[in-house]
Amino acid sequence: MARVAVYVTPKAGILDPQGVTIERALPALGFQGVSEVRVGRYITLEIDGAEGDELNAQVESMSRRLLANPIIEDFFVEIVDDREYPHESCGGSEEVIVGEENTPRKAGEHAASPWTAADPYASGQEQTGSEAEGNEDFEKGKEGVITPEDKPPRKAGEHAGSPWTAADPFAAGKEEVDKENREAGKE
């Protein structure tokens, strides 16, 4: 039994209105310096009866034909066993690295991530008219951003690995927010 994760992301150059909207919303919460927000889809599968090259070919084919639309989307496949399964790792284990006490996370053995070696964006260099429009919209949007004056800009995390591992930018941000919330609560 192989466990498979397929990440589907909008191709580079394709306007992602959801990503743009989220990007505009984050500064309102005090998160500065956030850019390139893209909203994709994370699909998990279990596959029986195939392994190795055959499994790879099967997943590649199903991703290309159904899970993603290669005209507008890139996909990135991760084939993992039980130990490495990102969702499983949320249950706690020997290697707790970030997060609150009740939701420990375990570092996965993710050799690659969508943002590193196997960067799905790298393969999609097609530019379309909507990109220019999207950026223009974004630039306009920036001017209207409301930043809470009392909150200092956030420090960006080190984006070295997958979002589920040590350098998880989301987890780091959460920690910081939690800390601030606690401090705010004391006042």
User: What does the binding site for other proteins look like in residue numbers (CB under 8 A)?
Assistant: 13-15, 17-18, 21, 66-67, 69, 71-72, 126-130, 133-134, 137
Q: Judge whether 110 and 164 are in contact, CB under 8 Å.
A: yes
Measured from the CB atom, is 44 or 69 closer to other proteins?
A: 69
Task: List the strands of the sheet with 73-80, edge to edge.
Answer: 41-47, 2-10, 73-80
Q: Determine the residue type at 40.
A: G
Smallest gap from Cβ 72 to other proteins, in A, equals 5
What's the rounded Cα separation, in Å, for the pair 94 and 98? 12
* Residue 138, CB-side half-sphere exposure with 13 Å CA sphere: 20
Helix axes 129-143, 17-25, angle to 10 degrees: 20
Smallest gap from Cβ 125 to other proteins, in A, equals 9
Smallest gap from Cβ 127 to other proteins, in A, equals 5
Smallest gap from Cβ 106 to other proteins, in A, equals 30
Which residues share a beta bridge with 119? none
Measured from the CB atom, is 74 or 168 closer to other proteins?
A: 74
Which residues share a beta bridge with 64? none
Measured from the CB atom, is 21 or 147 closer to other proteins?
A: 21
Measured from the CB atom, is 55 or 72 closer to other proteins?
A: 72
